[in-house]
Amino acid sequence: MGLSRDSRHWQPFPHLLQKHFPDSFVITPDLPGTGSLFRGKSPTSIYGMLAFYRDSLNRQDIPPPYYVIGLSMGGMVALDWVQRFPDEIQATVLINTSARPFCPFYRRLRYENYWTQLREIVWRRTVPQREAVIFDLVCRLYPDKKGLVARWAQYQYDKPISNINATRQLFAAAKYRSVSEAPQRPTLVLCSEQDRLVHPSCSQQLAESLRLEIRVHREAGHELPIDDASWVVEQIIDWLPSQRT
What does the domain layout of the chain look like in residue ranges?
7-243
Structure confidence at residue 171 (pLDDT): 86
Residues in the chain: 245
Structure confidence at residue 245 (pLDDT): 47
Structure confidence at residue 10 (pLDDT): 92
| Mean pLDDT along residues 205-231 | 95
Taking phi over 0 as left and psi of -120 to 50 as alpha, with beta for the rest, 13 belongs to: alpha
Structure confidence at residue 179 (pLDDT): 82
- 47-83 per-position pLDDT tens digit: 999 999 999 999 999 999 999 999 999 999 999 999 9
- Give the C-alpha separation, 164 to 181, whole Å: 33
Q: Does domain 7-243 have CATH number 2.70.180.20?
A: no
pLDDT at 87 over 70: yes
pTM for this prediction: 0.90
- Give the C-alpha separation, 190 to 169, whole Å: 22
